[in-house]
C-alpha cells in the first residue's frame, strides 16, 4: 500500500493522510493508491501539510507499517527517548521499528 505523509506546516508534527484529513497516528493512515500525487499537490497548495511525500507500507492487523525504518521512526518518535514517542507508556514500542 501507499501512504502520504509530511509535517504539519505550523507545528512541524509528523502527519499521515487519513483519506479525509491528517492524523499524527500512522494507524489512521489510508492507502492512497494511485491518487497520492494529486492529494499531495492539493494539500500542499492549501498549506495543510509541509514537505509531503509518498511512501510504501505494508498493511498489518495493527495498521499500516511503513516499509522504511526512517518512516517508522517518524511514526513513533526517537528510539533513544521512548518517553518522547507517541507511546511513552509502552517500553517495548521501539521493537515495532526494527
Partner 1 sequence: MYKYDNYDQAMVDARVAEFRDQINRRIAGEMTEDQFKPLRLMNGLYLQLHAYMLRVAIPYGTLDSRQMRMLAHIARKYDRDYGHFTTRQNIQYNWIKLEDCADILEELATVEMHAIQTSGNCIRNISSDQYAGAAADEVTDPRPWAELLRQWSTFHPEFSYLPRKFKIAVIASYEDRAAMRLHDIGLELVRKDGELGARVFVGGGMGRTPMIAPEINPFVKADDLLSYLEACLRVYNRYGRRDNMYKARIKILIHEIGADEYRRQVAEEFTHVKTLGIDPPLAELERISAFFAPPAYDAANVEPDRNDPDFALWLDQNVKPHKQAGYAIVNISLKPIGGIPGDATSAQIDVMADLAEKYSFDELRVTHAQNIVLPHVAKRDLYAVWQALRDAELADANLDLISDIIACPGLDYCSLANARSIPVAQKIATRFADMDRQRDLGELKLKISGCINACGHHHAGHIGILGVDKKGVENYQLTFGGSGAEDVSIGKIIGPGFDEDGVVDAVEKATEVYKALRKGDERFVDTYRRVGLEPFKEAIYG
The one among 26, 32, 65, 74 contacting partner 1 by CB under 8 A: 74
* Residue 80 makes contact with partner 1 by CB under 8 A: yes
CA distance 66 to 26: 9
Looking only at residues 25 through 44 of this chain, which bind partner 1 when binding is defined by CB under 8 A?
44
* Residue 93 makes contact with partner 1 by CB under 8 A: no
The one among 25, 41, 47, 87 contacting partner 1 by CB under 8 A: 47
Please list, in sequence order, all residues whose beta carbon lies within 8 angstroms of the beta carbon of residue 41, skipping any fewer than 6 positions away.
none
- Quote the least distance from Cβ 83 to partner 1, whole Å: 9
DSSP secondary structure of 18-84 = -SSSEES-GGG----TT-HHHHHHHHHHTTSSEEEEEEEEE--TTS-EESSHHHHHHHH--TT-GGG
The one among 19, 25, 51, 88 contacting partner 1 by CB under 8 A: 51
- Residues near partner 1 (CB under 8 A) are 7, 9-14, 44, 47, 50-51, 67-70, 73-74, 77-81, 84
Amino acid at each position: 500500500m501507499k501512504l502520504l505523509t509530511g509535517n504539519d506546516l505550523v507545528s512541524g508534527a509528523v502527519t499521515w493522510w487519513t483519506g479525509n484529513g491528517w492524523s499524527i497516528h500512522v494507524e489512521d493512515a489510508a492507502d492512497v493508491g494511485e491518487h497520492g500525487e494529486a492529494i499531495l499537490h492539493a494539500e500542499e497548495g492549501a498549506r495543510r501539510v509541509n514537505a509531503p511525500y509518498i511512501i510504501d507500507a505494508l498493511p498489518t492487523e495493527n495498521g499500516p507499517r511503513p516499509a522504511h525504518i526512517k518512516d517508522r521512526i517518524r511514526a513513533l518518535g526517537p528510539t533513544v527517548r521512548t518517553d518522547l514517542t507517541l507511546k511513552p507508556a509502552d517500553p517495548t514500542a521501539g521493537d515495532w521499528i526494527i
